[in-house]
Amino acid sequence: MSAPSNFFPERAHRCRGPVSRRSFLEIGALSLLGLGMSDYLRAETLAKAVGHKLRDKAVIFIWLPGGMSHLESYDMKPDAPLEYRGILRPIKTNVSGIEVCELFPRHAQIADKFNLIRSVCHEFADHGGGHKRFLTGRLPATPTGFVNDAPAVTSIVHKKLSRADQAMPVSVAGVDNGRAGIDTFSLGAAWLGPSTTPFMVAGDPSSPDFKIQNIGLTPDMQTRLDDRVHLLEGMDRLRRDADSSGLMGAMDEFSQRAFHMLTSPQVQTAFDLSREPDSVRDRYGRHAYGQRGLMARRLVEAGCRFVTMVWENPFPGTKIPDGCTYNWDSHAVNCHMFNDCHWRMPVYDQALTALIEDLYARGLDKDVMLIATGEFGRTPRINTQVGTQTKVSQPGRDHWPNAMSMLVSGGGMRTGQVIGATNARGEYPVDRQLSPNDLWATVYRHLGIDYNDSTLDLSGRPMPILPFGSPIEEILPVS
């Protein structure tokens, strides 16, 4: 199972050379506060200069913690030995030459609307290291643990695209109850500050008692808040008169953004799934995957720029079936891998394809890029162990960052493609080897963010947004 000699070229990458140090202390101070006041979307600025405005681009990022098996989803190996290929079989799709798992019949009907990337790899096999490596675009200082030592992509997006007059959060993340800690999925901001982290939405949107905290006010709360705002305005005027640095004005804008979000009918409406017809909610599926997918579509329509939806347990709050596990971490000690596939993957198939079809039907496919991936793939060779819960011997796959697959759609890209390939047993890429950074370079380009740009760390040093990586040419927008 030895990899080729040129495997993991990211070892040779280092941060780009010295960037000219900015000496604007006020800008540095704003950076520490995470106020998002610098480097507003260049493309939009240029568009305004020539008299027109670009439509806002957005990203929906479906995160599959634990790591979905590439060999049971998008990179099946039916001709490999049984201990590699497993028991599931591939099926043909509506695009000649593209096959997917038999548990993805809806995928098979719309393969012309997405691309499969089969050749992504990195070096971090621990969940924490894999999360940090993937979600920051950097090689983490430590291979374990979920606390970032560099900003997550979500914080970079907030820093570059936030506006004080915008009520809708720049970045939102949907998670299960009890999973809303910012470090649970390595979404920390590091030197960009906590105000740049995603607005966390915890709970199952398919549940009748689902409620989002910190959005909307009762009439009594509105009156008390208005009184407090008027009082603070008077105090702030006194402080602003004594402030020559401009820092207070920036803080005012930050407070204003929080106030807008709390009181905005637009924000409340975007999160309100009851406004959707039952037929639409049913198509997505009455489960956490489906309703989070629907919420993501509503949020990008309302102006959110980066929506992360974490798909772990499709039915939170209910008993997980025997032989299955909480998320995509299909070790033999956790689950009978194929039982788990039969439970989880039809739900995934329903929800993801509904989202893809909806984006196309509503004309959002040019402006919204959709990505579905986990932090790594699974070991090509199946192993058998006694399950912790079942107490019987069962099959599973372990962590494998040497090869993984992801699905991408929308973003104006040419679709119906397979990009890259692994060897005959799915062990490592043999064609078009890519890293998570190549994905993020593509995402930043889509959003109009210069991936060669930098932000200031806590000591005022310029830090590259993306130390290495290039946009994936095959999925750039069709002109």
Per-residue pLDDT at 49: 40
DSSP structure string for 395-422: EE--EETTSEEEEEEETTB--SEEE-EE
- The CA-CA-CA angle for residues 452, 457, 462, to 5°, reads 40
Q: d(Cα 338, Cα 194) in Å, to the nearest integer?
A: 40
DSSP structure string for 346-361: HHHHHHHHHHHHHHHH
Q: What is the DSSP letter of 378?
A: E
* pLDDT by residue, tens only, the chain of 479 residues: 656 656 665 655 544 433 333 333 333 333 333 333 233 334 344 333 433 344 689 999 999 999 999 999 999 999 999 999 999 999 999 999 999 999 999 999 999 999 999 999 999 999 999 999 999 999 999 999 999 999 999 999 999 999 877 889 999 999 999 999 999 999 999 999 999 999 999 999 999 999 987 675 455 545 554 555 555 555 555 555 555 444 444 455 456 666 666 678 889 899 999 999 999 999 999 999 999 999 999 999 999 999 999 999 999 999 999 999 999 999 999 999 999 999 999 999 999 999 999 999 999 999 999 999 999 999 999 999 999 999 999 999 999 999 999 999 999 999 999 999 999 999 999 999 999 999 999 999 999 999 999 999 999 999 999 999 999 999 999 87
Which two structure tokens, joined as six digits, stand for 195?
A: 């105000």
Q: Where are the domains of the chain?
A: 42-211+277-475
On the 0-12 / 13-18 / 19+ scale of CB atoms within 10 A, 314 is buried
Angle between helix axes 25-33 and 247-263 (nearest 10 degrees) is 30
What residue ranges in 178-234 does DSSP mark as E strands?
Answer: 199-202
Per-residue pLDDT at 4: 63
Per-residue pLDDT at 47: 39
For domain 42-211+277-475, give the fold: Alkaline Phosphatase, subunit A (3.40.720)
Q: d(Cα 355, Cα 292) in Å, to the nearest integer?
A: 10
Q: d(Cα 454, Cα 448) in Å, to the nearest integer?
A: 14
- The pTM score is 0.85
Per-residue pLDDT at 479: 72
Alpha helices in 242-336 (DSSP H): 247-263, 265-271, 278-284, 288-301
Per-residue pLDDT at 111: 99
Per-residue pLDDT at 14: 42
